[in-house]
Chain A
Amino acid sequence: MAAKRKGKIVKISGNMVMIESNEFIVQNEVAFIINGQERLKCEVIRIRGNRAETQVFESTAGLKIGTEVEFTEELLSVELGPGLLGQIFDGLQNPLPAVAEECGFFLKRGVYLKALADDAEWDFSPEKKPGDKVRAGEVLGIVPEKIFQHAIMVPFGLKGAFEVTDIVDPGKYNLKTVIAKLKDVDGKTQEVFLKQTWPIKIPITAYAEKLKPQEPLVTKIRIIDSLFPVARGGTYCIPGPFGSGKTVLQQLTSRHAEVDIVIIAACGERAGEAVETLKTFPELIDPKTNKPLLDRTVIVVNTSSMPVASRESGVYTAVTIAEYYRQMGLNVLLLADSTSRWAQAMREMSGRLEEIPGEEAFPAYLESRIASFYERAGAVKLYNGKLGSVTIGGTVSPAGGNFDEPVTQATLKVVGVFHGLSRQRSDARCYPAIDPLISWSKYKSFVEDKQVKRGHEILRKSQEIAQMMKVIGEEGTSLDDFIDYLKGELFDFVYLQQNAYDPVDEATSAERQKYLFNFIYKNILEASFKFSGKDQARIFFQRLRQLFRGWNSSPWQSQEFKDAEKEISSTIEEGLAAREKTGA
């Protein structure tokens, strides 16, 4: 092996360290600062002459001018292989439970542990035989991992066609064993292991084609699925001021979304929230598989007190793991909370590099970075014809809750769905606090178009009337308008809002949503009630509201459910009858 290329520190400012070296330097390569016994990881982010500026993934306290640095020529990479599911990593893919065992309460800098245990044994069964022709991304064999058939694939980085020359028999192997040998056209041999590494900032593209996202991704949150749906392979963003419930929304989505695997990237947010996920997911049972939720989850956590630079790497680590499982024909959902913290990390670094600042001091490349991150989502057709997808949902924490700021705007340009949370709605204790009047989606809902349209319409109308009433008072509003106002309020209250603490109401299946939407559409939104006065109308809708609440918290198709439906129907009958009486 060639001697390691070395350099020396010439400047330190926060977590930006400048290195001088007389040898070649590779953009984005990883280097290690040798500080006595410690080896601190950093990444080259700019090269000028014989000087490289690096971002250090650790605290830089105590480093000195002249300290030696070793370059590695490798880009920042992650390990991909069986054993990722159920793990808790930091932004550099250090397994945190193992770090805790070694270092105790605190994250000691310079401690990097293997993401996947080398000596764990996996039950491999080959799917190819010597002589088979393969290319990057094709499946060589299978190992069972938790509830999934984990595909062992030809390393994504290999270019061209290969022939399998050797492949092991079924049996138990660890990650250090060569399980197959491949020969390229020139006769050069490549060894394949159960794991491979991949640079996190480069998308994995070993698939046949990228498809248009069409299948709805059911989150079991009514306002999302019915009015602002997300598609498998699509992207969505959730901007909202603090306290508007972004994280609660993400947490419930991570529990209920109908996907195979959920990757949670907690990026620069509160440790307490990450802890809740860490501690509850092993105990929560996924109703679909009857296994702990953690079995289908990978958590990448980089809380706000952890080193800033690894916020960025955390987001990329998470999306790379998501792409890896997509390559097996699985549907993966990546939840990133919050992308603003990642953008702020970029801003901090840009400031240290003394770059010319853009809007609000964010760097000029903010938009392109955000765009290329979201572009890593997608539904793809693999070489074997299977479909897989990565869906990305990112929260945005706009400064001052103002959606005009650069990160929100850059995100809105590239995502397919906008779920805007509003302070008014969260103050009014609405969950989810998604504001239906500002949100939009480019994907198709499973609810009929006509009905969705009517839903939007009544919400807008109701809002207009409410505004008007503030000025002219209830007295000045016509009865018809008042009824439309009440219809909108009811639709909002009983359909768009859910009780996050009710075991039934917190998640609504697609089937139930269609049923309920149709019921409300036919019997309330399209019905023409004519009451004798506003008080009668108000009392009628208040009563309905109470009844719907009970209906929403009764299990689907249970006796309780049917009874509640019957009571609502007969109440509506009475409401319509009121018209006849007054009309007569």
Chain B
Amino acid sequence: MHKIYTNISQIAGDVITVEAEGVGYADIAQVNTSRGVSLAQVIKLDNEKVSLQVFAGSRGISTGDKVRFLGHPMRVSSGEELLGRIFNGSGQPLDKGPALSQNLIDIAGPPVNPVKRVIPSKMVHTGIPMIDIFNSLVESQKLPIFSIAGEPYNDLLARIAIQAEVDIIILGGMGLKHDDYLFFRDALSERGALGRSIFFMHTAADPTVECLLVPDISLAVAEDFALKGKRVLVLLSDMTNFCDALKEISIIMGQVPSNRGYPGDIYTQLASRYEKAVDFDTAGSITILAVTTMPGDDVTHPIPDNTGYITEGQFYLKNGVIEPFGSLSRLKQQVNGKTRPDHRTIMDTMIQLFADYRESLEKQSMGFKTSAWDNKLLKYGRLFEKKMMSLEVNIPLEKALDLGWQILAECFTPEETGIKKAIIKEYWPKNQ
């Protein structure tokens, strides 16, 4: 039924060019090589010349191989059957389960009409005080974790995934190490969360092009569930690999690079994925947590920089803790006024004092004389780091707020904190 073309005229990188007719832009084709069958997607049409990026990579493709155009864009199967399953970047099963071909949906669908979104208003509780108190995560938020390679970002992702009250978890892995992948699988399975999870896995050993599909496939499936009223959490690790794959393809295609070799449309490419995060009016929601490893801990590098302009804040993971400065949840104001009346007070006061602590610390390390006030701050800072910032702390918000009061009372008099009298009266620990 579909015509087969055998005249591949060019192979450069993972992009092949074949002469064909009647091909739609962004359509999918099958390439039959001696090594097996791979999918490919049309990325450029120029008269009869059709350029395709081959998901499995071009290695071993011969100019005489067969290309069959399927006449539709990339699709993926969606639905309940996917739960607990593991797939690769093109949607093929990696576990021992059957391949799925039911309920096919297009990936990279149209954008949501802004008037059909609602203002995010539901907090996602994570049990991590640095998030719950200081930078609350909100349903439908898109938030990256900025960190350097080697930080425990995947542990953090897995922990949030397990503790967050969501219906479905979708994990999109890009360029993951194989043991990271096993870690995610074991972590979720240990806590009984595997049954509500779906994995789309691209490991570092897999072809580059497949990496590009992972966010789209993950988000298309997420969208399908969200439209059915489910609250979906999408974890993407690591988006830096996605951007590097983009860079690779765009350079092969001869695009003029704009900044450090990245294509000029990197903002749009990232935005069209992150913007899938949504709280639908009268349906479910998609929350996106992504990992962005910053090359050289440089936040002005094009990847974290463009990401920061798109996402609603970021968690900055440094030295194994979520750094309060540099971390930001832009949506926290939507929820932290509705939790407990002292939430914002604790948040503002503790951060302010922690900033002062950092100054005192600097003063101390420069060898200047420390005052009595400095010493109080130094004590406070150390307590804060140990009891609040450490990622080992795992307590619900209420307890974390109480802990905050305790730390303050241990170090300061009520007046020194500058907190309004009415709140002091209600919350300041009595036993001090």
Instruction: Give the complex CA separation of A457 and B70 in angstroms.
Output: 70
**Distance to closest chain B CB from A33 (angstroms):** 11
- B268:A270 contact, CB within 8 angstroms: no
Contact B21 A65 (CB under 8 A): yes
Q: Are A65 and B48 in contact (CB under 8 A)?
A: yes
Q: Give the nearest-CB partner of A345 in chain B.
A: B268
- Residues of A near B108 (CB, < 8 A) are 61
Known A-B contacts A103-B113, A347-B264; A275 and B272 likewise in contact (beta carbons under 8 Å): no
Among the 9-residue stretches B93-101, B115-123, B171-179, B210-218, the one with 4 or more Cβ atoms under 8 Å from chain A is B115-123
> Does B392 interact with chain A (Cβ within 8 Å)?
no
Q: Is A160 an interface residue (CB 8 A)?
A: no
Bound-state CA distance A546–B421 (Å) is 14
CB atoms of A100 and B258 under 8 A apart? no
A303 part of interface (Cβ distance < 8 Å): yes
B248-289 interface code vs A (CB 8 A; 1 in, 0 out) = 000000011111000111011001100110101001000000
Residues of A within 8 A of B325 (CB): 427
In the assembled complex, the CB of A38 is this many whole angstroms from the nearest CB of chain B, namely 12
Closest approach, in angstroms, between the C-beta of B20 and any C-beta of chain A? Answer: 9
A271 and B117 contact, CB distance less than 8 A:
yes
Among the listed A108, A270, A278, which residue makes an inter-chain contact with B275, where contact means beta carbons less than 8 Å apart? A270
Binds A, one of B149-157, B158-166, B305-313: B305-313
- B328 contacts A106, CB within 8 Å? no
- Answer whether residue A170 sits at the interface, using C-beta atoms and an 8 A cutoff: no
Check: A357 CB closer than 8 A to any chain B CB.
yes
* A283 CB to nearest B CB, Å: 11
Measured between alpha carbons, how far is A361 from B326 in the docked complex, in Å?
Answer: 29
> Number of contact residues on A: which range applies?
35 or more
Contact B113 A100 (CB under 8 A): yes
Chain B interface size band reads 35 or more
Residues of A within 8 A of B418 (CB): 546
Binds A, one of B24-32, B180-188, B193-201, B375-383: B24-32
Could you say which residues of chain B place their CB within 8 Å of the CB of A475? Answer: 368-369
B432 to chain A, nearest CB (A): 24
Q: Which of A5-13, A190-198, A318-326 contacts the other chain?
A: A5-13
- For A583, the chain B residues whose CB sits under 8 A away are none
B73 within 8 A of A: yes
Which of chain B's residues has its CB closest to A103's CB? B113
* Nearest opposing residue in chain B for A308, CB measure: B268
Task: Spot the interface stretch: A145-153, A201-209, A230-238, A399-407.
Answer: A399-407
B426 interface residue (CB < 8 Å to A): no
Does B114 sit within 8 A of A, measured CB to CB?
yes
Q: How far is the CA of A303 from the CA of B108 in the complex (A)?
A: 16
Residue A524 at the chain B interface, CB threshold 8 Å: no
Please name all residues of chain A whose beta carbon is closer than 8 Å to the beta carbon of B366 when the two chains form the complex: 473
Distance of A109 Cα from B109 Cα, bound (Å): 11
Contact of A399 among B24, B276, B283, B302 (CB under 8 A): B302
Scan B348-365; emit 1 where CB is below 8 A from any A CB, else 0: 000110010000000000
- A305 touching B111 by the CB < 8 A rule? yes
Q: Are A62 and B25 in contact (CB under 8 A)?
A: yes
Residue of chain A at shortest CB distance from B331: A272
Q: Within A321-361, which residues are at the interface with B (CB < 8 Å)?
A: 341, 344-345, 347-348, 351, 354, 357, 360-361
The answer to the question of B47 belonging to the interface, with a C-beta cut-off of 8 Å to chain A, is: yes
CA distance A104 to B282 in the complex (A): 11
- Which of A14, A106, A348 is close to B109, meaning CB atoms less than 8 Å apart? A106
Query: Would A64 and B23 be within 8 Å (CB), given that A106-B113, A305-B275, A400-B305 are in contact?
Result: yes
| In the complex with contacts A11-B46, A106-B110, A271-B114, A361-B258 CB distance below 8 A | yes
Q: Is the CB of B47 within 8 A of A304?
A: no
Query: Contact at B326–A88, with CB atoms within 8 Å?
Result: no
Q: Measured between alpha carbons, how far is A278 from B265 in the docked complex, in Å?
A: 27
In chain B, residues 311-341, which have Cβ atoms closer than 8 Å to a Cβ of chain A? Answer: 312-314, 325-326, 328, 330-331, 333
* Contact between A61 and B310, CB atoms less than 8 A apart: no
B304 to chain A, nearest CB (A): 9
Q: Is A97 an interface residue (CB 8 A)?
A: yes
Identify 20 residue pairs between A and B in the complex whose beta-carbon atoms are under 8 Å apart, listed by A's number: A12-B45, A59-B110, A62-B24, A62-B73, A65-B21, A65-B47, A96-B115, A106-B109, A106-B112, A268-B268, A272-B119, A275-B117, A303-B114, A305-B112, A306-B111, A348-B268, A351-B256, A351-B258, A361-B258, A546-B418
Q: A271-B278, A361-B259, A401-B305 are in contact. List 19 more A-B contacts (CB 8 A).
A: A10-B47, A11-B45, A14-B265, A63-B24, A63-B45, A65-B47, A96-B114, A99-B115, A242-B308, A274-B114, A275-B118, A275-B119, A278-B115, A303-B111, A304-B275, A304-B310, A344-B264, A400-B305, A473-B366
